[in-house]
Chain A
Amino acid sequence: MLSISGITLLAKRNKKAGCGFLILLVFVIIALFADAITDHKPSKRVARPHQAPSAEHIMGTTRMGRDVYTQFVHGTQTSLAVGFSAGLIIMALGTVLGISAGYFGGKVDDFISFLTNIALVIPQLPLLLVLAAFIGQSSPTTIALIIGFTSWAWGARVTRAQTLALTRKEFIQSAELGGESRLRIIFVELMPNLASIIGANFIGSILYTVITQATIEFLGLGDPLSISWGTMLYNAQTTSAMHVGAWWEIVVPAAAIAILGMALALLNFAIDEVSNPKLRTFSGLRVFNKRVALIEYEKALGVQGANS
């Protein structure tokens, strides 16, 4: 698994990763210390409606006279929580299903692959919208659950393909011949080598979840009383903030989603580069430095010299 030291090393050696990681860190800090950096509840009316950004309200106020900055901070908390929890569900399901299908093969593989392929050809977003609407005013928790349990297919497919490729390599076969238990092979031999795929799946899923949650809520299918980036957009839209020129009400949540998306995309790009050295762009002496970095990084990950 991607350990903390692995991530920091990756961040240190790869500029894109460093950049993405830093931005993500800022959002996490905002979310963790939401109560400390705001001084009232996000739903409290504190000023006249639609005040432009000023020293007192640095991101302006909404139609209801609520402080956009406070809403943004608490929205960060909700959006990240939903993103991380759905991301975890997707990663767990994708990894378990993918490894089972790829490693056990046979009937297990047939069954899981069939499920995966079906899930892949069903249109995601329309289905999620219909689900959210049928459940009615879905709370952030509900949204996290429905996204988590409907979006695992892509991760499962990629993990399965990689597991299949690894299973054919000598080091797995020698482990099998050496009589290692299947559990040990999965956790000690396979998992470390799947780290980059699992990590990419996790990060991609967080991104997907944050975007999808915002979309569901923007369309008014979420719980209008919860505070998140999506409901901020929804409220801005329903109070026609755009047409009265209250751009800050739209731009703040939009920028938050865009910047978080950018950070996660950069992290994923970096993971791709580290796991597939061909994709990296070398020049001159940096080749050597990066090779060293890669070896250190792999040591940190506990990779068992299987990247041949």
Chain B
Amino acid sequence: MRFVTRRLFFYVIAFFFAATFNFLLPRMMPGDPITAMFVSQGNPLSQETIEALKITFGFVNGPLHLQYLAYLKSVFTWDLGYSVQYYPLTVNEVLNRSILWTLFLVGVSSLISFSIGSIAGIYAAWNRGGVFDTLFSPLSLVLQSMPAVIISLLFLFTFAVSLDWLPTGYAYNIDLDPGWNFTYLSSVAEHAIMPIFTLVIVQVGGYLITIRNNMINLLGEDYIVMARAKGLSEMRVMLNYGARNAMLPSVTTFAMTIGVVLGGSLITEYVFNYPGLGNTLYQAIVNRDYPVIQGQLLIMTLAMLTMNFLADVAYVYLDPRLRNA
């Protein structure tokens, strides 16, 4: 358990660093972004109005260290203030509206990629040099190097604009009322096909290659030879002896990929106008909605930290050697 506590401690510190960076970011930039944000709204405002606005949106005047303390307090109580763009909604409300959509896209696409990638990788390694391996292993690497921008644009152009098979954007048909009925859910599914497939293409190659390479490295091990010598079936040696051990590093890959997937989701959501976190971040960036940008970065960092922590815990569970470390 010491391993887990140590990691947990690290993640808390990492979050602290990320939060500090988040605080410094707008303040390091040239000019005064806080004033720029309100002045760019168009009409000139009086000094008092600007001050009042600053207080409303949680900007504290005064020396940097006092600002910093106020900021830390707001972060750890998760009271992130109001959104500039969607006032009077709070940052939390804005994030709550979009977080489930992103979780949906990222979760489903990760599960699909992990399953397909692992099975295909195991198979490719077991029959390495075979037709499947020679064809799909390089192909998966090529797919992995395709950016989400390109895939989503090509999907959009082919299946939505040209062929008109799938809707061009948003998460569901806006004429429908959200609810647990078939029409609404099928509309959600229809709108999610292209974003999810884009994200699957971005991820699946990574899993395939990781597990294939791990598995190939394992195949010469004594315990594999032993299992074969005992006369176990091919299937059993492949799955219970080979794959089980080869899967281990994939857990780390799973945690590491979350950053890539969040990035991919961001751009995919933008292209398909999907109402998730990424699109919200983009809108916030364009509209200089600093409170929302900060909240976004924090929540994305938190997501990465959580995934990494879960991977650590899973690792301890899967690899007995770590339990006493």
Partner-binding segment picked from B9-17, B47-55, B238-246: B9-17
A123 lies within 8 A of B297 (CB): yes
Q: How does the 8 Å CB contact mask read for A218-236 relative to B, with 1 for contact and 0 for none?
A: 1111000000000001000
Residues of A within 8 A of B220 (CB): 278
Interface hub of B21, B128, B285, B297 (most chain A Cβ within 10 A): B285
Q: Nearest Cβ distance between residue B20 and chain A, in whole angstroms?
A: 11
A264 to B149, CA, bound (A): 18
Return B133 CB to nearest CB of chain A, in Å. 7
The segment from A46-54, A77-85, A126-134, A164-172 found at the interface with B is A126-134
* CB within 8 Å of A: which B101-153 residues: 128-129, 133-134, 137-138, 141-142, 144-150, 153
A78→B149 CA distance, assembly (Å): 18
Residues of chain A with a CB closer than 8 A to B21's CB: 122
Contacts A118-B17, A133-B285, A254-B153 given; indicate if A125 touches B145 (C-beta within 8 A): no
**Which of these, A126, A135, A214, A281, contacts B134 with CB under 8 Å?**
A281
Q: Which residues does chain B contribute within 8 Å of A211, judged by CB atoms?
A: 145, 147, 149
Separation of A215 and B148 alpha carbons in the complex (Å): 9
In the assembly, what is the distance between CA of A251 and CA of B157, in Å? 10
If the complex has contacts A121-B308, A125-B266, A266-B138, are A207 and B145 also in contact, measured as CB distance less than 8 A?
yes
**B234 nearest CB across to chain A (Å):** 19
Most buried by B among A134, A214, A218, A247: A134
Say yes or no: B262 contacts A126, CB within 8 Å: yes
A160 at the interface (CB under 8 A from B): no
Of the residues A233, A265, A276, A281, contact of B142 by C-beta under 8 Å: A265
When distances are taken between beta carbons in the complex, the residues of chain B under 8 Å from A133 are: 285-286
From known contacts A261-B145, A264-B145, A266-B138, infer whether A126 and B296 are also in contact, taking CB-CB under 8 Å.
Answer: yes
Whether A130 lies near B297 (C-beta < 8 A) is yes
Size category of the binding interface on chain A: 35 or more
Q: Are A250 and B157 in contact (CB under 8 A)?
A: yes
Residues of chain B contacted by A261 (CB below 8 angstroms):
142, 145-147
Does A243 make an interface contact (CB < 8 A)?
yes
Tell me whether A262 and B217 are in contact in the complex, defined as CB-CB below 8 angstroms, given that A215-B147, A243-B161, A281-B129 are known contacts: no
Which of B18, B138, B150, B300 meets A118, CB within 8 Å? B18
**In whole Å, how far is B216's beta carbon from the nearest beta carbon of chain A?**
6
> Among B134, B157, B266, which residue has its beta carbon within 8 angstroms of that of A247?
B157
| Residues of chain A with a CB closer than 8 A to B26's CB | 134
Contact B301 A257 (CB under 8 A): no
Given A121-B18, A261-B145; 17 other pairs, CB 8 A cutoff: A125-B263, A125-B266, A126-B263, A126-B278, A126-B281, A126-B297, A131-B25, A133-B286, A135-B30, A211-B145, A214-B150, A215-B263, A218-B267, A250-B157, A258-B150, A266-B141, A279-B213
What is B's interface to A at a CB cutoff of 8 Å?
Answer: 10-11, 13-14, 17-18, 21, 25-26, 29-30, 33, 128-129, 133-134, 137-138, 141-142, 144-150, 153-154, 156-157, 161, 213, 216-217, 220, 256, 259, 262-263, 266-267, 270, 278, 281-282, 285-286, 293, 296-297, 300-301, 303-305, 308
Closest 10 CB pairs of A and B: A125-B263, A281-B129, A261-B145, A265-B145, A211-B147, A123-B300, A134-B29, A265-B141, A133-B285, A262-B142
